Structure 1
Amino acid sequence: MAAIPATYRISLDPAELQFDVIHGFLSRCYWSPGIPREVVEKAARHSLCVGAYGPEGAQVGFARLITDHTTFGYLADVFVLEEHRGLGLSAAMVRALMDLPEVAGMRRLMLATRDAHGLYAKLGWAQVTDPTPLMQIRREGLYQPGPTPPEERR
């Protein structure tokens, strides 16, 4: 795996997370439009997180692993800001999480992606071969304002 540019760094320190950047991206991306900042912060506090930081120390990427810290992890919210893409930062963040001893010993890791299958395949991920046992509850538009119920219009 190619190294990232020397002017960038990857950190697993949760104290370095810049929630203005993280929320700013997640609230406009396809998988969590409109997500409230407090939801982003709470989710991060309950996950293993990694950040990518640029030459001036500003956060330019993020990823988190939702996990029980023992047997299972779900990779989520992986992003690199548009102007910093193509430098290997996504792969470096995912690798940093996967290299943690507690993650290396997990029985199952999962993720969902619409457009980054190639990136994850290079890191050892594969498509689910038998989706039969998998189930979900999916709540589309959860953070989007909707029509006001009639009882609340008064």
Structure 2
Amino acid sequence: MKNGFTVTTDLNDMDFHVIHQFISHSYWAKGMPEQTLRKALANSLCFGVLNENGEQVGFARMITDSATFAYLADVFILEAYRGKGLSKWLVANIMDHAELQGLRRIMLATRDAHGLYRQFGFNDVSQEEASMLMQIRDPDVYLR
């Protein structure tokens, strides 16, 4: 607990509507259908930030095998709650989680939060590593 806020990994405590509203309007998942997000959350280790009234104010999820690899995704704090250190506190809770210890690689993609993640040991992918990464990307999949 921090100043009345809590972090939970129990999806039953989280407000799907708030999560979907934010993520489906984000630059990284614009238009994501509810059914797609429900499936994504069910298959991820989710972290919700709740205020003193139990209302959803932040969220993140790790896509992981809990043994070798994890991908941090969908991190947000609602605008009205920014500037309180909640994103840093959320990421600290994620990085300290028992199921995420001893992993060989944790990755993420961000357009604008490099400074936050560097505080937790994330670094830019080296030129050599970048040349090994490949992807299949369909940025408009949710808009069709």
So what's the TM-score if we normalise by structure 1? 0.87
CA–CA separation in structure 2 for the residues paired with 1:67 and 1:48: 7
* 1:139 partner letter: D
Check whether the contact 1:52–1:59 (CA below 8 A) recurs between aligned residues.
yes
- Please state how far the C-alpha of 1:110 moved relative to its aligned partner: 0.2
Of the candidates 80, 84, 106, which is equivalent to residue 83 of structure 1?
A: 80
Match of 1:113 in 2: 110
Structure 1: give runs of 5+ residues left out of the alignment. Answer: 146-154
Q: Check 1:98–1:5 CA distance in 2 against 1; reply closer, same or farther (3 A cut).
A: closer
Cross-structure match for 1:132? 131
- The answer on 1:16 being equivalent to 2:13 is yes
Aligned-residue identity in percent? 48
Name the CA distance, whole Å, in 2 between partners of 1:137 and 1:95: 30
> Which runs of structure 1 show a deviation greater than 4 angstroms over 4 or more consecutive aligned residues?
none
In the alignment, structure 1 residue 102 sits paired with structure 2 residue 99: yes
1:5 Cα deviation after fit: 4.5
Structure 2 letter corresponding to 1:143: Y
Give the TM-score taking structure 2 as reference length: 0.93
Larger Rg: 1
SS of residue paired to 2:26: coil
Q: Where does residue 93 of structure 1 map in the other structure?
A: 90
1:101 is displaced (CA, Å) by 2.2
Aligned residues: 142
2:32 maps to what in 1?
35
- What's the CA shift string for 1:13-67, capped at 9, x where partnerless? 2221210000010111100111011111110110001000113211010000001
Cα displacement (A) at 1:100: 1.7
**Is 1:142 equivalent to 2:131 in the alignment?**
no
Structure 2: give runs of 5+ residues left out of the alignment.
Answer: none
Rounded Cα–Cα distance in structure 2 between residues aligned with 1:77 and 1:30? 10
CA–CA distance in structure 2, aligned partners of residues 87 and 5 of structure 1:
10
Structure 2 match to 1:148 = none
